[in-house]
Amino acid sequence: MKHLSKILVVLFIALLGVSSCGDEPVGKWDKMKWTNVNNLMNIQGVYYLPEESGEYTFLCRNYERPWIESVSIDGKSQTLDPENRLQFSADWFTVKFEGNKLTVTATALPDAIESRGFILQVTAGDIFDTFYFTQEQDIYQ
C-alpha cells in the first residue's frame, strides 16, 4: 500500500506539471518586429539621435502591449517604478509606451557633452528586445 501511494503522488505531480504549462513552449515566441517611424540612423543596432531635441517613434508590429523591462545609462542600471512599467524619465530623455507605440523624447545635446547614450530593454512577456540609443555631436552632418 505504501508503494502504491508513492506512485500516485509521483503521477499527481507529473500531471500537475504538464497541466500548468502554457500553450507556448519557452523560446518559441516570435522575435519582436519594429518599425522605425522616423527613420533614425541605425548603425549595427545602435539608433543615433540627432543633436537637437526631438521625439522619435517605434511601432511594435507583432505584440500589442510591450513594456519596459530595464534601462541603463552609462552602464548603470536605473530604478524603474514597479507600478508603471510603461514610461521612464531621465534628465535628458523619456521613453513611453502607449499600446504598441514606443515614443523616445530626447533633449538637445549640450555643447559641453560630446556624446551620451542609454540602453532600453523591453518585453511583452516571455520575449525581450533591446534598443541602443546614442546622441553624438555632428553625427548627422
Residue 79 lies in a domain: yes
Domain assignment of residue 9, yes or no: no
94 close to 53: Cβ distance less than 8 angstroms:
no
> Residue 26 — pLDDT band, cuts 50, 70, 90?
low
> pTM for the complete prediction?
0.79
User: Is the residue at 2 inside a domain?
Assistant: no
Is 11 part of a structural domain of the chain? no
What is the average pLDDT value for the chain, to the nearest integer?
A: 86
Residues 6+ apart with CB under 8 A from 73: 90, 117, 118, 119
71-91 pLDDT, tens digit each: 999 889 999 999 999 999 999
Q: Could you give the dihedral angle defined by the CA atoms of residues 80, 41, 136 and 81, in that order, rounded to the nearest 10 degrees?
A: -10
Q: For position 109, which CATH number holds?
A: 2.60.40.10
Residue 139 has pLDDT above 90, yes or no: no
116-137 tens-digit pLDDT = 999 999 999 999 999 999 999 9
What number of CA atoms fall less than 13 Å from residue 39's CA on the CB side? 1
104 has a pLDDT exceeding 60 = yes
Whether 55 maps to a domain, the answer reads: yes
> What's the domain count of the chain?
1
Asked if residue 62 belongs to a domain, the reply is: yes
pLDDT in tens, 37-50: 999 999 999 999 99
- Cβ-based neighbour number of residue 122 at 10 Å: 24
Task: Tell me if 58 sits within 8 A of 37, measured CB to CB.
Answer: yes
**Would residue 15 count as lying in a domain?**
no
Task: Report whether pLDDT(19) > 50.
Answer: no
Residue 40 counted as domain residue: yes
Identify the domain containing residue 55 by its residue range: 23-136
